[in-house]
Structure 1
Amino acid sequence: MDSTSYTLYVRCGDERLGAVPVCVTRKLVRNLNLRVRGDGSVVASVPWRTSRARAQEFLDAHAGWIAERVSRKAERQVESREAAPSPAYALWGCEHRTADGHTPTAAELDELWRREVERALPGVIARMEPLVGAHASSWQLRAMSSRWGSCTPARGSIRINVRLAAYPPECLDYVVAHELAHLIEPSHNARFHAIVARAIGNERAIRARLRQPPATA
């Protein structure tokens, strides 16, 4: 705060407010002015030659006005927080909200999605392996930023992105079938797509869905 500004305190007679700080700034103005900002802070501008005693007198004379405006701002802020929806996150293609208003961190979401995929994956594998006609020797779950899945055909190992749990369940089905198909055909040629089509009839629609945001309200 520069030398043109200083802080005075006003007792408004409201124990909830206590002594309200007011930022007073000397300016090239003719009158003493008072304002309550949107965040509830109080500011005043006074002519250059106004003494601190005169500024304090002015503020004390408007203590009731200050108390009313500050209280009103505080009430509106509380109402706004109460009206605001709790943070949302995506789970199996639907939007969910936290019960306590907590915003999940990226790590917390990855852990939630990991548990969900871990729970769902055995059933998906049991359905997709016979349809595709391939069997993986190992499965791993990873939080990946650029791939939904990957595989190493020589080892028969497949890795699945835990973030698929944010998307509808059929997306996990598709990625599992896609990676299983790569154990038979490493490239994305006509044979590969024919293999995937044995398990997933709407392959193109699901690929398009994976390019969209994960959840719908």
Structure 2
Amino acid sequence: MNQILSEQEWQSALDAFRVKEKEHTRIRDALNAERRRLPMTQISKTYNFTGPNDKVSLLDLFEGRKQLIVYHFMFAESPCTGCSMMVDNMGHIAHIHARNTSLVLVSLAPYSKLAAYQERMGWDTPWYSSEGSDFNRDFGATREDGEMFGVSVFIRDNDTIYRSYHTTQRGAEYLGSNFSYLDLTPMGRQELWEDSPEWVSQTPPYQWWCKHDEYGGD
């Protein structure tokens, strides 16, 4: 057991610790601001995926939105337990869509396996197979020692696609809420308090929030 204190002593200890938590938040905000300004690289190679509507392209995965977040789900032979926990903790996708961003899962396994497991788990997040393409290897999800999980972020200018960010290991471990996924993107949460590039349109915080069944057009 940890040390037991009186209520007043406990509150004093909590207040002292809160100072460190606030500093951590400010450091994280500054890191997110720097991430939003990272350079990008153009994607010139063509990739094809298999989904519920047969073959689609990387551009199709955007579904007309400006940004795309890909979670590289480890499923070469069988579904990864850790990746399954990650998807269990993803927020409702409507909140991601509300910020002009799409979120999809991509795995090496044949689409039939993905669809069966998705039904079993009750997930709504779109899931695509990269079987037969170089996508997994080109984006760090397949290595010499096997398949690897991670997150890749893309942004498009009309039909031209750029990759802006990638993380794996502990960098992906903390992700859970929709906010944390949006924080990985060049446009962020698109709220006025954020330190973002000048080209990012922003709105007041909270005002874009809706219950997931109240968003229009998605």
Of structures 1 and 2, the one with the larger relative CO (CA 8 A, separation 6+) is: 2
Kindly indicate which of the two structures has a greater share of residues assigned to helix.
1
The question of a shared fold, defined as TM-score above 0.5 by the shorter chain, is answered with no
Q: Of the two, which has the highest radius of gyration? A: 1
TM-score by length of 1: 0.26
